Structure formats: C-alpha cells, structure tokens
C-alpha cells in the first residue's frame, strides 16, 4: 500500500448556505501522526466525518487508498446504563471478535485486566483505553481519534499520547487526531493542521507555532508555553485502528 492513505483536495461543506469548511487540502500518510487543531466551530468534527465517510454532500474530493481500513474513536459514545455489558462483550460489537483478538487489543493499550469488568464501572481513563483498543481490531491502516483524552485526568493525558505513538510504531498505520491540548499535540505529532473553517496553516509543529494565523488564534503567550518537540525525520514511523473499509 502507498504511504498516502487519504488525499483531501479543495474540500468544502455548507449547511443552509452557512460555510462550515472551505477549500481544505492535505494528505494523511502512513507512519505519521497528523493532528487537527482549531477553535470551537472551526469545522474539525465535520472534517473528520468527511474523511471517514460519515458525512457526504461536500464539495471537492477525498481520495482514499483502494483498500483503506479505518479505526474510529468518536468524541462521544453513548452507552445505555441499563444494559449490562462487559468490556469483552462490548469489543465484540457490532462484529463478533475472537477472545484472542480482544485480549490482544486490550493488552496493546494496557487494560487486558479489564476484560470481564462492566464497561459502566470504568474510569474516564480506563474507558478511553478500552475505546482505543477497539479501534485496533481488524488491522486498520488509519486511526481517526476525535479528542482521545476526553475524560482523562491531566496525568493520564501524556500517557495516552505516548500510547498512541507506540501503537503507530507497532502497527504500521497512520493516525489522525483532533485535539485541543496544544502542548501535547506539539510534542507528539508529525503534521499539524490549524483549522478555522479553512486551513489557516499546516506543517511541522515548529513551523506552525510561528505562523501569524496560529498566533492570532491561540495567542503569543500560549505559544510561548508550548513544549514544542523538535521531531527528527531521519527515521521511520509506524501505526493502528472499529473498522470501516473504503473503496474508491
């Protein structure tokens, strides 16, 4: 498979004449982490929906690799508290999975000990690791993670981003993250997409943090506190992800 997993070209989206996205273009590659940042209402979740095939009627073009499989972690998941279900059974929905594959997935995110627990008893951090494990089932080529640290405490946020990076390396996939945690994003990503209905700026974190539109959105003081990771590109990158198959 080519290293180019998804190519987004001049994508736009409107609702009742209101512009949600306009002229957005970028490429998501295997073995790289791409992170979308931007203020509320910037169109981040809509863009993720378009990329993953959950939103249609957009302008422009999204080209997906012919055999692309996507593992998707949504920003919110609604679980019926009246429905008793173990972590293991949850990971078998909607597609039946073998016990071995489920335990392997849970082990990859460090929560194999939760297999028999009720999913309703998990902490925020435990639930996010279970959901992340779920995305690795089916050997996806791309993980799409919408706010993967939602409900995770401050200490656990850094661990979660490190885990995502480790999964990328182990599973030889690409990763697309939507996040508002600038300091963690800048330390763990290869490509930053700064979105505010249009693509304000994009590139390596060290370049994006100096861009005038980034500074206008997030402020110079905030920028100065970012722990920007000077990512070296003289080595290989790798990755992982409920599975959606797309064929163009």
Contacts of 16 (CB under 8 A, 6+ apart): none
Give the per-residue pLDDT at 228. Answer: 42
Cα 203 to Cα 113, 114, 191, 194, distances in angstroms: 39, 38, 5, 9
Give residue 150's pLDDT band: very low, low, confident or very high (50, 70, 90): confident
Q: Which of 244, 50, 75, 39 is nearest to 148 (CA)?
A: 75
Mean pLDDT of 64-70: 93
Number of neighbouring beta carbons within 10 Å of residue 82: 6
DSSP E strand stretches across 121-242: 142-146, 174-178, 191-196, 198-203
Domains of the chain by residue range: 4-74+139-245
Topology, domain 4-74+139-245: Rossmann fold (3.40.50)
pLDDT reading at 110 higher than 70: yes
Contacts of 3 (CB under 8 A, 6+ apart): 29, 30, 31
Give residue 223's pLDDT band: very low, low, confident or very high (50, 70, 90): low
């Amino acid at each position: 498979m080519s290293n180019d997993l998804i190519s987004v070209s001049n994508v736009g989206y409107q609702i009742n004449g209101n512009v949600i996205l306009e002229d957005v273009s970028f490429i998501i590659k295997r073995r790289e982490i791409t992170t979308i940042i931007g203020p509320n209402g910037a169109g981040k979740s809509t863009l993720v929906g378009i990329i993953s095939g959950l939103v249609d009627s957009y302008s422009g073009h999204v080209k997906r690799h012919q055999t692309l499989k996507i593992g998707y972690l949504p920003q919110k998941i609604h679980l019926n508290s009246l429905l008793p279900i173990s972590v293991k059974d949850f990971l078998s929905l909607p597609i039946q999975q073998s016990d071995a594959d489920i335990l392997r997935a849970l082990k990859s995110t460090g929560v194999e000990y939760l297999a028999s627990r009720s999913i309703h008893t998990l902490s925020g951090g435990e639930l996010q690791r279970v959901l992340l494990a779920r995305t690795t089932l089916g050997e996806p080529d791309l993980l799409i993670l919408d706010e993967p640290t939602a409900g995770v405490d401050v200490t656990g946020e850094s661990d979660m981003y490190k885990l995502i990076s480790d999964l990328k390396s182990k599973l030889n996939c690409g990763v697309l993250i939507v996040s508002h945690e600038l300091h963690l994003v800048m330390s763990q990503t290869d490509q930053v997409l700064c979105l505010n209905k249009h693509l304000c700026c994009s590139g390596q974190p060290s370049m994006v943090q100096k861009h005038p539109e980034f500074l206008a959105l997030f402020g110079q003081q905030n920028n100065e506190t970012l722990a920007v990771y000077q990512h070296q590109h003289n080595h290989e990158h790798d990755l992982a992800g409920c599975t959606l198959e797309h064929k163009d």
